[in-house]
Structure 1
């Protein structure tokens, strides 16, 4: 599945608003049977449009917790590993990885000792620098516009249709509008991976 029809989009909107909503209730909303909705959700998960169902717990509401925004500058070649480590770290609520080797995490800690938190979560030798801000407020929108539900090609940004492809690189699934874009992405990914391997080898020499 690469192209989402209006029924898929409506199912995503309903689940995004309440992931616990029964399939039978969704079926009534979109005019399908419960099993048909279940099948569509399974296809959306297989296509990695839906990554997981989870409960969004606001840890900052717990007693003694300090809500923080931690902006980490990472040494070249280590942003993916740092992102993965902080995503699993105790107290993390949300985490983001930018194209310029920065990882930003919204965390809720029993104190503001970010240095110890980072040391527990990852190898801090790959951290070039970090900034910490105390959050005064945060919110997350449940709005999903039609434009947000168009699957974009990881290489060129065009909309992915039924003619598109998908592939996994480094444990993440990417979608492409055509085999040519997939091949270009794979070539650049391999070149980057080779460069990182050579750098790591030189550092270890």
Structure 2
């Protein structure tokens, strides 16, 4: 994929503001044709820059919901599972996992009963405790930085240019700046996958 230019950045900004925006409207804004915009969006998806198009529902706008910020302390080794469970829980707006075994969730609940909500969502035996704050106001911004956008190599972190390569491993797409980085990454990936399978078979 080519380096991301200002037109790509503007297309991404427009889609971030409204993922349902017609390509014809985007084309008018960036000075391209509709098919050219469609081609650029397809390239951005192939590169993994765009992973999906979603509708962002603000549950806090419903009159029977209470917007809460729930900070959950988790036993070591369980933060990933708790994060995954809360990501799919009822009323979730956003959820974050920190490096110190905490999971923070912005959630809108009909009765503010966090204890019941947590019990429905996950195994609470791995929860050390939690703090709850009622949110007075919140705003989610998903803006692009003003610095130049670039796809980073999954192996070394360098910028992926036109000479870059792509590999699909375990159903995930990875981008590399060169064939050497792809070979190193793939070899290590296959080794880890082989070790994991050996542990399961044992």
* Same fold, TM-score > 0.5, yes or no: yes
- Partner Cα separation in structure 1 for residue 102 and residue 136 of structure 2: 22
Larger Rg: 2
Per the alignment, residue 140 of structure 2 pairs with: 140
> What CA deviation, in whole Å up to 9, does each residue of 1:10-39 have, x standing for no partner?
110111122221101111222322122112
> Which residue in 2 is equivalent to 1:86?
86
* Corresponding position of 2:115: 115
RMSD: 3.5
Q: Is the 8 A contact 2:155 2:176 kept in 1?
A: yes
CA displacement 1:43-93 (0-9 Å, x = unmatched):
222322122222222111212211111112223333222222111111001
1:130 aligns to 2:130 (yes or no)? yes
Structure 2: runs of 5 or more not aligned: none
Asked whether 1:49 is paired with 2:45, we answer no
The unaligned stretches of length 5 or more in structure 1 are 199-205
Other-structure match for 2:63: 63
Q: Quickly say closer, same or farther: Cα 1:4–1:140, change in 2 above 3 A.
A: same
SS of the residue aligned with 1:147?
coil
Assess if the C-alpha contact under 8 Å between 2:155 and 2:181 holds in 1: no
Please report how far the alpha carbon of residue 183 of structure 1 lies from its aligned counterpart in structure 2 after TM superposition.
4.6
Q: Distance in 1 between matches of 2:128 and 2:2?
A: 38
Query: Aligned residue pairs: how many?
Result: 198
Once the 2 structures are TM-superposed, how far is the Cα of residue 155 of structure 1 from its aligned partner? 6.4
